Amino acid sequence: MARILITSALPYINGIKHLGNLVGSQLPADLYARYMRQRGHEVMFICATDEHGTPAELAAAKTGEDVAEYCARMHDVQAELAEGFRLSFDHYGRSSSARNHALTQHFAGKLAENGLIEEVSEKQVYSHADGRFLPDRYIEGTCPNCGYDKARGDQCENCTKQLDPTDLINPRSAISGSTDLEVRETKHLYLRQSLLKDEIDRWIDSQTDWPILTTSIARKWLHDGDGLQDRGITRDLKWGVPVKKGDADWPGMEGKVFYVWFDAPIEYIAATAEWADANGKSDADWERWWRTDKGGNDVRYVQFMGKDNVPFHTLSFPATIMGSREPWKLVDYIKSFNYLNYDGGQFSTSQGRGVFMDQALEILPADYWRWWLLSHAPENSDSEFTWENFQASVNKDLADVLGNFVSRVTKFCRSKFGEAVPAGGTFGPAEEALIADLTPRIRAYEAHMEAMEIRKAAGELRAIWVAGNEYLQSAAPWSAFKTDPETAAAQIRLALNLIRLYAVLSRPFIPDAAASMLAAMQTRDDSWPDDVPAALAALPSGHAFTVPDVLFRKITDEEREGWQEKFAGARV
């Protein structure tokens, strides 16, 4: 039995996430966590809401709430939606927690002790109307390169030119619209990542089994241009982790907070500590996952994230861990994803374009979405959600292949043999051939799941479902029953055991349907099919079952057209 620590990139607090966010981190992480638990491993699956930074303050201001109240409310909303999608976190924490405050300040203190923090004086734009320094992205003006009048202080979205706020013509606050701005000098702390470049470079090079997407992004940041740069880790904001060296004040840094991208990854550790607190456990119980001097050496740590998060997890967070010179656990594998696009364009939280998690669950149960998203996960390239593809996949894979098999087998057995597994005779060549075919397929499915090859795993699982359908169609027990009831009974006995097997194998992808199948077979035996012939004899003759409700209904053309029209524009 292995010990596996799994973290999913933290969803930001300012609103409900869309399906692209879901499939880029949380959902595949849940698939892997569920599978590893089924195989008997000890799993710690951690996520949390990322709550600090200017966007959280602005989102709260729009609703008229105090930022702390807003974040608490939105945490509960996101946690409820995570439960709705059956995300099986061991703990869903908050980056604003006391644990994260203390750990963030601890790491900053250690980095300072080790000469890896530098105070830098820099000039930033101050808005008198807003009474605050403005982050670059909250300054707007006219681009000096193309004349676009809504260019941001960090980049012009029209011509993509990188900018500084002082480059803008007629700059104004994106918060209030005020032009009463001035450039002021302020001091900030910088993490001296450049001093750790060689150490990080060697560490990245040692990860020979990581996805190319992950390592290529990391190496680009390490080697292109001027290489790994020192990074500011403080901001002139009110909402965030106050700047301290451990428990001590940091002279000159009064009123400042740590940059959200410094404290957010530390929340992985803090959320595990929150799990211990919530479950009446000791510090030793969470430290055994994170401290290599307290058991963490035996842990395999896997992170899941979209490709936009890769630089922070391959460079900045490891720099924090390494630079502390304390025995913290570094990630062993980073599973990164490309983008899921929406119906010819992009999902967009800011523009409300696409299907969001709450809307999805209002339309259909979680398993429908889980299956499509995972079977179309954007692993090797961007993928695209279209309503036509979604309808076809649900109708063919879930309704026609899996759901139809369960319905036909149980209803036929009830009508001819009653609601108990029939005895029948011994298996013939067709049954033995099916069992022989399923064994290598299940082993291949296991290999894909362990390698986190999600689309390949989904394809193999579907092939396993199809094999049962093809057997049933070929064996035709409804015809055999007329002349040879014993043979028909044996065929149905095998098919009922296939339903139990499908429930076990399918649970990581479609947990609710899997639970329904097991309940219909009236068994709690969810043991993994290490021995396939034995697994297909788990339900003996005489074992009672019930006919379940329809597992998956088909999506009609009218529904698809209605949803396509409803979600074509911005969310209202």
Check whether 349 is labelled as a binding-site residue.
Answer: yes
Tokens 């396993």 correspond to: 464
Check whether 146 is labelled as a binding-site residue.
Answer: yes
Tokens 């292109």 correspond to: 224
Check whether 523 is labelled as a binding-site residue.
Answer: no
The type of residue at 422 is P
Which stretches does DSSP call E strand in 307-457?
Answer: 333-337, 340-342, 345-346, 383-385
Q: How buried is 114 (Cβ within 10 angstroms: 0-12 exposed, 13-18 middle, 19+ buried)?
A: middle
Residue 103, helix vs strand vs coil: helix
| Whole-number Å distance between alpha carbons of 458 and 370 | 11
Contacts of 170 (CB under 8 A, 6+ apart): 141, 142, 179
Check whether 156 is labelled as a binding-site residue.
Answer: yes
| Whole-number Å distance between alpha carbons of 431 and 494 | 8
Residue in 220, 218, 232, 228 with CA at minimum distance from that of residue 195: 228
Specify whether the CB–CB gap between 155 and 85 falls below 8 A: no
Specify whether the CB–CB gap between 66 and 60 falls below 8 A: yes
Specify whether the CB–CB gap between 78 and 267 falls below 8 A: no
Q: How buried is 292 (Cβ within 10 angstroms: 0-12 exposed, 13-18 middle, 19+ buried)?
A: middle
Contacts of 251 (CB under 8 A, 6+ apart): none
| Whole-number Å distance between alpha carbons of 211 and 338 | 12
Q: How large is the greatest C-alpha to C-alpha distance in the chain, in angstroms?
A: 93
| Whole-number Å distance between alpha carbons of 540 and 538 | 6
Residue in 20, 36, 38 with CA at minimum distance from that of residue 376: 20
How far is residue 60 from each of residues 94, 134, 139, 358, measured CA to CA in Å?
16, 17, 19, 20
| Whole-number Å distance between alpha carbons of 501 and 515 | 12
Residue in 25, 48, 68 with CA at minimum distance from that of residue 278: 48
Check whether 413 is labelled as a binding-site residue.
Answer: no
Residues at the binding site are 143, 146, 156, 159, 349
Residues at the binding site for Zn(2+) are 143, 146, 156, 159
Residues at the binding site for ATP are 349
